[in-house]
């Protein structure tokens, strides 16, 4: 046995020495390059490998940066050498294009031509990923690469929870490794002011600290607090240090100084900038507060002074002024504000917000800078030169682009990394919602309905991480590092392939784990597609990663395994367990309890349909026999209706006897989710003329999830119609005041004989 092994190894050694290309085309993994985001053009030379087993790099001193030096040090068998000893001599040629590069790996050397220093950095990052995630010898390959979008951003909120200078640097390192170029730094809010302003020292002495912090979720009642003073801020020297750190990584920092709303921390320090004569305190819980800046000359002078110091710290072109979630109730009560509206012929308080934003934009423009604001800055009109950051869906970005204004797309549906990334009950506490890595990957920043000649105004997009429920940087890693890989490719790569991405993702996941990062891993966590409402039995299917399949058991008894995309009928009620398996890799078992009832086999018609943000697996999600989470309104079971009623018609296909109908609703007023006003049920024999059977009084409940049961007294009918009335407009003083309430509906259970 030992002799046979020695003979085998000797033969392999001879082959490696004698054969110039020992690995054939079919043995080269399509994702061998291991690069994220995927290069836009790559040509492998018949699957051949080079002879390159090290990187000897010659780089002119003026082209070196602290980041490139550290990057090269992190690559196995890589070093800077003299010109004579180099096998890699990068060249900067501006004709190549901004942020672009050509990377040509030949038999015994590597050629790099970059359009600028950013392109050079990206070329070396790609090369380092090939070594780290693919290893030596490098493949013979030509890469021609440039970004799909010029704005590729990541956001970090440090106002709700504060992160150290070293934490922010880790974030910037992550961004550089995946070719992001814009860091949106959210520095001020109701819960803390995080940047030193020398002219106004109380901002950091008072505004940077709160007396205590909310424990648990905002929706948990009653609210509980930890009783511990919390806060911190960055000195101007620390800001300069971070800006310098970002600059050598070709990352521009966009500071956000919130106005006119989200101003409570500033008002706690300087109450004279509010419209009311009262004591303000830094907020100890999350949400939106009525305390906003008063648009008088004293306030504008203060904000201009703040902007002056901020501009001196940040060399980039943009200043983000917030502009979102600004309640108008204080302005409505203020005699000064009402006189200002009259004096300037403004239509209303929204016009006053436009007056506020436009005035600050004019001042910021006079300093050679441009403003960015959240899409609420369009209320009452858009400031002349403003760039819109569209977060409440895509409509803000569409409107801006159609008006020839630049827009950055960051809709909550795909870009909010403070949302849950798994439906597992073991996930760390998050604000709500559900944004999987696949959903991020599939996102396209340019809306389909935008005319082609206006698409140039969509600069790109960014991920957002709000830190209400993230106390430590390990939480940032968990929420960002996995989905950030998908976002990088969504913003850079012109052609995407999710299956190929998953193979590269596995390599990068292993890399971050070896570095001790708390990166999430949900690839083998099943995301069921449960279909109902078509007049057929309920079916379940899965899209499976990397050729895995699903082991299926029913009430503890092994069933037939499921392949990717295969629809399996659910005929037996009870607990169905599903588990993804791919060789030795296994996902966590997924238990789904199917409680089949009359409606699960009916045809469901809904008008209007659920909001696209919370569409689940379509309208049939509310009659598929599966109840959603009692803690989370995201995922595939809860359907959301934004400012609209929930109305549906069930066709049972024949006359049935119906005894009662049960509805489930989610309540989360901190996220603008309200119980409905009432519910009513109607019956019909022909599906045209409906007769009221029963209705509820006003619906009230204190718990997150409430169940409303309506007795139908064994009526015989073919059609059943339900009408669930939306709460309407959120009242003053509440989170989201003035906006339409969300209505979330889960299972509609119909029981009968």
Q: If DSSP states are collapsed to H, E and C, what string results for 165-234?
A: HHHHHHHHHHHHHCCCCEEEEECEECCEECECCCCCCHHHHCCCEECCCEECCCCCCCCEECCCCEECCE
Beta strands in 10-165 (DSSP E): 41-49, 55-57, 78-80, 91-92, 101-105, 110-114, 139-145, 151-157
Q: In percent, how much of the chain has pLDDT > 90?
A: 82
User: From CA 549, how far away is CA 556, in angstroms rounded?
Assistant: 19
User: From CA 334, how far away is CA 497, in angstroms rounded?
Assistant: 56
Please state, in angstroms and as integers, the Cα–Cα distance from residue 191 to each residue in 160, 187, 219, 282, 287, following that order: 6, 10, 18, 6, 9
User: From CA 252, how far away is CA 317, in angstroms rounded?
Assistant: 8
User: From CA 705, how far away is CA 746, in angstroms rounded?
Assistant: 10
Instruction: Determine the distance from the C-alpha atom of residue 106 to the mean position of all C-alpha atoms in its chain, rounded to a whole number.
Output: 39
- pLDDT tens for 300-329 read 999 999 999 999 999 999 999 999 999 999
DSSP code, position 241: H
**Measuring CA to CA, which residue among 49, 222, 238, 20 is closest to residue 141?**
49
**Where residue 20 falls among pLDDT bands split at 50, 70, 90?**
very low
Per-residue pLDDT at 748: 96
Instruction: Indicate whether 571 pLDDT > 60.
Output: yes
Per-residue pLDDT at 32: 60
Buried b (16+ CB within 10 A) or exposed e, 18-46: eeeeeeeeeebeebbbbbbbbbbebebbe
Per-residue pLDDT at 46: 64
Instruction: Indicate whether 600 pLDDT > 80.
Output: yes
Which pair of tokens denotes residue 281?
């305190």
Q: Which residues pair with 183 in a beta bridge?
A: 154, 253
Q: Which of 161, 186, 262, 320 is catalytic?
A: 262
Mean pLDDT, to the nearest integer, of 14-28? 34
What Rg, from alpha-carbon coordinates, does the chain have?
Answer: 29
Instruction: Indicate whether 115 pLDDT > 60.
Output: yes
Q: In percent, how much of the chain has pLDDT > 70?
A: 95
Q: Which residue's entry shows tokens 């939306």?
A: 726
Domains parsed from the chain with CATH numbers: 29-145 (3.30.379.10), 151-514 (3.20.20.80), 524-594 (2.60.40), 597-752 (2.60.120.260)
* pLDDT greater at residue 542 or residue 406: 406
Do 51 and 108 touch, CB atoms closer than 8 A? yes
User: From CA 336, how far away is CA 388, in angstroms rounded?
Assistant: 29
Classify residue 733 by burial, with Cβ atoms within 10 Å: 0-12, 13-18, 19+: exposed
| HSE, side-chain direction, 13 A CA sphere, residue 9 | 6
Which pair of tokens denotes residue 356?
């506020």
Helix (H, G, I), strand (E, B), or coil: what is residue 619?
Answer: helix
Per-residue pLDDT at 303: 98
Helix (H, G, I), strand (E, B), or coil: what is residue 20?
Answer: coil
Mean pLDDT, to the nearest integer, of 407-428? 93
Mean pLDDT, to the nearest integer, of 601-628? 94
| HSE, side-chain direction, 13 A CA sphere, residue 246 | 29
Q: Which residues contact 513 (CB under 8 A, 6 or more apart)?
A: 519
Which pair of tokens denotes residue 82?
């003299």
Q: Which of 116, 157, 189, 256 is catalytic?
A: 189
- Tell me, yes or no, if 262 is annotated catalytic: yes
- pLDDT tens for 142-172 read 999 999 999 999 999 999 999 999 999 999 9
Mean pLDDT in the chain?
92
Give the angle 210-213-705 at the CA atoms, nearest 5°: 145
DSSP code, position 26: G
User: From CA 750, how far away is CA 731, in angstroms rounded?
Assistant: 33
Which stretch of DSSP H or E encloses residue 298? helix 297-313
Which stretch of DSSP H or E encloses residue 359? helix 349-366
Question: What are the CB-based long-range contacts (under 8 Å, 24+) for 42-47?
Answer: 42/141, 42/142, 42/143, 42/144, 43/141, 43/142, 44/139, 44/140, 44/141, 45/139, 45/140, 45/141, 45/142, 46/21, 47/23, 47/139
Give 433-451 as a DSSP string. EE--HHHHHH--SS-TTS-
Do 400 and 406 touch, CB atoms closer than 8 A? yes
- Tell me, yes or no, if 320 is annotated catalytic: no
Do 469 and 287 touch, CB atoms closer than 8 A? no
Q: Which of 256, 258, 291, 325 is catalytic?
A: 325
**Measuring CA to CA, which residue among 419, 399, 245, 264 is closest to residue 330?**
264
Q: What length is written for the chain?
A: 753
Q: Which residues contact 487 (CB under 8 A, 6 or more apart)?
A: 154, 415, 440, 443, 461, 462, 463
Helix (H, G, I), strand (E, B), or coil: what is residue 12?
Answer: helix
User: From CA 593, how far away is CA 167, in angstroms rounded?
Assistant: 42
Least confident of 26-30, 119-123, 395-399, 556-560: 26-30
Helix (H, G, I), strand (E, B), or coil: what is residue 18?
Answer: helix
- pLDDT tens for 218-234 read 988 899 999 999 999 99
**Where residue 739 falls among pLDDT bands split at 50, 70, 90?**
confident
Helices and strands (DSSP H and E) totals, the chain: 16, 39
- Tell me, yes or no, if 305 is annotated catalytic: no
User: From CA 525, how far away is CA 172, in angstroms rounded?
Assistant: 29
Q: Which residues pair with 604 in a beta bridge?
A: 650
Q: Which residues pair with 141 in a beta bridge?
A: 44, 105
User: From CA 250, how far away is CA 228, in angstroms rounded?
Assistant: 39
Buried b (16+ CB within 10 A) or exposed e, 315-325: ebebbbbbbbb
Which pair of tokens denotes residue 201?
């020292």
pTM listed for this prediction: 0.87
User: From CA 407, how far away is CA 386, in angstroms rounded?
Assistant: 9
User: From CA 434, how far away is CA 413, in angstroms rounded?
Assistant: 8
Do 112 and 90 touch, CB atoms closer than 8 A? yes
- pLDDT tens for 226-279 read 999 999 999 999 999 999 999 999 999 999 999 999 999 999 999 999 999 999
User: From CA 28, how far away is CA 130, in angstroms rounded?
Assistant: 13
- pLDDT tens for 447-457 read 999 999 999 99
Do 250 and 157 touch, CB atoms closer than 8 A? no
Using CA atoms in the order 542, 544, 548, 553, what is the torsion angle rounded to 10 degrees?
-20
**Where residue 649 falls among pLDDT bands split at 50, 70, 90?**
very high
Which pair of tokens denotes residue 259?
């106005």
Helix (H, G, I), strand (E, B), or coil: what is residue 702?
Answer: coil
Mean pLDDT, to the nearest integer, of 179-206? 98
Mean pLDDT, to the nearest integer, of 508-527? 93
Mean pLDDT, to the nearest integer, of 69-96? 95
> Helical H runs in 314-406?
329-333, 335-343, 349-366, 395-402
Instruction: Indicate whether 70 pLDDT > 60.
Output: yes
User: From CA 676, how far away is CA 701, in angstroms rounded?
Assistant: 11
**Where residue 45 falls among pLDDT bands split at 50, 70, 90?**
low
């Amino acid at each position: 046995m030992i002799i046979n092994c020695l003979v085998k190894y000797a033969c392999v050694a001879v082959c490696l020495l004698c054969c110039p290309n020992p690995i054939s085309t079919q043995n080269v993994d399509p994702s061998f390059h291991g690069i994220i985001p995927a290069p836009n053009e790559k040509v492998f030379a018949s699957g051949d490998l080079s002879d390159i087993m090290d990187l000897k790099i010659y780089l002119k001193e003026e082209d070196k940066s602290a980041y490139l030096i550290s990057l090269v040090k992190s690559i196995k068998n890589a070093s800077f050498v003299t010109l004579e000893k180099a096998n890699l001599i990068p060249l900067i040629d501006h004709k190549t294009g901004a942020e672009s590069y050509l990377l040509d790996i030949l038999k015994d050397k590597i050629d790099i031509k970059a359009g600028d220093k950013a392109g050079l950095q990206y070329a070396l990052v790609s090369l380092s990923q090939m070594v780290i995630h693919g290893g030596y010898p490098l493949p013979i390959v030509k890469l021609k690469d440039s970004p799909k979008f010029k704005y590729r951003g990541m956001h970090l909120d440090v106002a709700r929870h504060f992160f150290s200078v070293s934490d922010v640097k880790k974030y910037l390192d992550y961004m550089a490794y995946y070719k992001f170029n814009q860091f949106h730094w959210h520095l001020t809010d109701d819960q803390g002011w995080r940047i030193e302003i020398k002219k106004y020292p109380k901002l950091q002495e008072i505004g940077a600290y709160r007396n205590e912090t909310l424990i648990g979720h905002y929706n948990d009642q009653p609210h509980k607090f930890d009783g511990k003073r919390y806060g911190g801020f960055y000195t101007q020297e620390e800001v300069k240090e971070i800006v310098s750190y970002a600059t050598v990584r070709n990352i521009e920092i966009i500071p956000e100084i919130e106005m006119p709303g989200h101003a409570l921390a500033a008002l706690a320090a300087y109450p004279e900038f509010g419209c009311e004569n009262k004591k303000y305190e830094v907020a100890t819980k999350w949400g939106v507060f009525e305390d906003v800046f008063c648009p008088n000359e004293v306030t504008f002078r203060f904000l201009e002074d703040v902007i002056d110091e901020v501009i001196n710290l940040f060399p980039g072109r943009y200043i983000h002024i917030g502009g979102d979630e600004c309640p108008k109730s204080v302005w409505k009560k203020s005699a000064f504000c009402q006189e200002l509206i009259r004096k300037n012929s403004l239509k209303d308080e929204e016009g006053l917000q436009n007056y506020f934003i436009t005035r600050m934009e004019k001042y910021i423009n006079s300093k050679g800078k441009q403003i960015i604001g959240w899409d609420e800055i369009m209320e009452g009109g858009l400031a002349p030169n403003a760039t819109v950051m569209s977060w409440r869906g895509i409509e803000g970005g569409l409107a801006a682009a159609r008006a020839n204004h630049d827009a950055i797309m960051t809709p909550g549906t795909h870009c909010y990394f403070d949302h849950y990334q798994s439906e597992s009950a073991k996930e760390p506490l998050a604000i709500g919602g559900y944004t999987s890595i696949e959903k991020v990957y599939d996102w396209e920043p340019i809306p389909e309905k935008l005319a082609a000649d206006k698409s140039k105004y969509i600069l790109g997009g960014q991920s957002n991480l709000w830190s209400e429920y993230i106390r430590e940087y390990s939480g940032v890693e968990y929420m960002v590092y996995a989905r950030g890989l998908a976002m990088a490719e969504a913003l850079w790569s012109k052609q995407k392939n999710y299956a190929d991405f998953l193979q590269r993702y596995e390599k990068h996941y292993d890399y971050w784990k070896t570095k001790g990062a708390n990166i999430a891993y949900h690839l083998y966590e099943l995301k069921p597609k449960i279909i109902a409402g078509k007049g057929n039995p309920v079916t379940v299917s899965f899209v499976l990663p990397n050729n895995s399949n699903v082991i299926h058991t029913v009430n503890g008894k092994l069933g037939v395994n499921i392949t990717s995309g295969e629809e399996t009928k659910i005929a037996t009620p009870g607990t169905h367990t599903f588990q993804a398996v791919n060789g030795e890799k296994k996902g966590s078992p997924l238990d789904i309890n199917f409680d089949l009832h009359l409606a699960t086999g009916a045809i469901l018609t809904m008008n209007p349909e659920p909001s696209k943000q919370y569409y689940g697996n379509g309208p049939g999600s509310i009659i598929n026999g599966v109840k959603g989470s009692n803690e989370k309104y995201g995922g595939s079971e809860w359907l959301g209706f934004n400012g609209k009623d929930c109305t549906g018609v069930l066709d049972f296909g024949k006359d049935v006897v119906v005894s009662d109908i049960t509805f489930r609703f989610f309540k989360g007023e901190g996220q603008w989710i309200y119980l409905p006003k009432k519910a009513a049920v109607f019956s019909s024999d022909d599906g045209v003329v409906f007769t009221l059977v029963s209705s509820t009084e006003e619906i009230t409940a204190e718990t997150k999830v409430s169940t409303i049961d309506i007795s139908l007294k064994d009526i015989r009918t073919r059609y059943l119609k339900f009408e669930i009335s939306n709460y309407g407009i959120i009242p003053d003083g509440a989170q989201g005041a003035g906006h339409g309430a969300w209505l979330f509906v889960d299972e509609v259970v119909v029981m009968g004989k």
